[in-house]
Amino acid sequence: MELRGLGAISNDLEKLGVRLLAVSVDPPERSREIVKRLKLPFPILSDKNTRLTQEMGLLHKSGGPGGVDIAIPAHVLIGTDRRIRWKYVSKRIHDRLAANEVLEHVRSALANESL
């Protein structure tokens, strides 16, 4: 599972000065349950109203079961100046980067530009 993989690299990201957060369109209760069940070392923030997801262009309208709106899987590295330094957006719902790939992209982005 992608979240577990990110949990496994969270210490490496912290050493690079990166704070890991997940964002989900699920209700907050569901996000808290997932963090607890998977013992994740980072929070999952709820974007139940999809405001952030829409602003980042990551909402697939009617893309989920029964035509519900779903978030497109993505990874975004945001600098302290709030600018996007690196972004990966899945082309299909099942396309996901492996945790080690995320770590390498973050390292590369940090090496190329100071946050």
7 neighbors 40 (Cβ within 8 angstroms) = yes
Global pTM reads 0.84
Phi–psi pair at 76, nearest 5 degrees? -135, 130
Q: Which amino acid is at 46?
A: S
DSSP 17: T
pLDDT in the model for residue 63: 85
Report the C-alpha gap between 91 and 104 in whole angstroms. Answer: 20
27 neighbors 48 (Cβ within 8 angstroms) = yes
Copy the structure tokens of residue 33. Answer: 């349950």
pLDDT tens, 47-101?
989 999 999 999 998 888 899 888 999 999 998 888 899 999 998 878 899 999 9
What domain count does the chain have? 1
Range 104-108 average pLDDT:
95
10 neighbors 41 (Cβ within 8 angstroms) = yes
Q: What is the CATH number of the domain that holds 23?
A: 3.40.30.10
| Average pLDDT of every residue of the chain | 91
Report the C-alpha gap between 46 and 37 in whole angstroms. Answer: 17
Range of the domain at 89: 2-112
